[in-house]
Amino acid sequence: MRNRRHQQGATIVEAALIMLLFFTLVFSVVELGRVLNVYHTITNAAREGARYSVAPFPGIAGTLPTSANVRAQVCTFLTSASLPCTGITVNQSLVQTVNGISTTFTQVNVSTPYNWLILPLSPLTLTTQAVMRNETN
């Protein structure tokens, strides 16, 4: 009878250790999924801003949106995903020359801080960019 009581205590300790490891693993997977979701969202925001920037306004040939308009478009996309509108830079005059032909591109960079919900880690800054050729070339 005495051995059985000691075994019950060992079972409780083993269960506590395994549950700690299991929940740490589960919460880590949830956090990683959240990080990937936020990164995917800011990548889509950068693409949306670049796409908006390179297409001329309808009916006005050769007129592209301003950098402020592009930042507002990206900010709208980020706000709809409950992300802050900080760290948006737009370069509409990125010129590349290949075989003597100059092409103008638009580069949109988006960075946002990521604060961990569950894991006690320092904040992470996620950064992405999108580059597209201007349609007025």
Give the pLDDT of residue 4.
60
Looking at residues 82-111, what average pLDDT do you find? 88
CA distance 117 to 115: 6
**R_g over Cα of the chain:** 25
The model's confidence at residue 123, banded by pLDDT at 50, 70 and 90, is confident
Helix (H, G, I), strand (E, B) or coil at 58: coil
> pLDDT of 29-65, one tens digit each?
999 999 999 999 999 999 999 999 988 777 666 678 8
> Residue 5: is its pLDDT beyond 60?
no
Per-domain residue ranges for the chain?
Answer: 2-133
pLDDT digits (tens, 9 = 90+) for 66-96: 899 999 999 999 999 999 988 899 998 888 8
Token representation of residue 22: 């299991």
In 3D, which of 46, 132, 30, 41 has the Cα closest to residue 89? 46
6, 28, 37 from 131: Cα distances, Å: 66, 33, 21
Q: What is the 3-state secondary structure (H, E, C) of 6-43?
A: HHHHHHHHHHHHHHHHHHHHHHHHHHHHHHHHHHHHHH
Q: In the predicted model, what is the mean pLDDT of the chain?
A: 86
Sheet containing strand 124-133, strands side by side? 88-98, 101-114, 124-133
> What pLDDT does 134 receive?
84
State yes or no: pLDDT of 137 exceeds 70. Answer: no
pLDDT given at position 8? 64
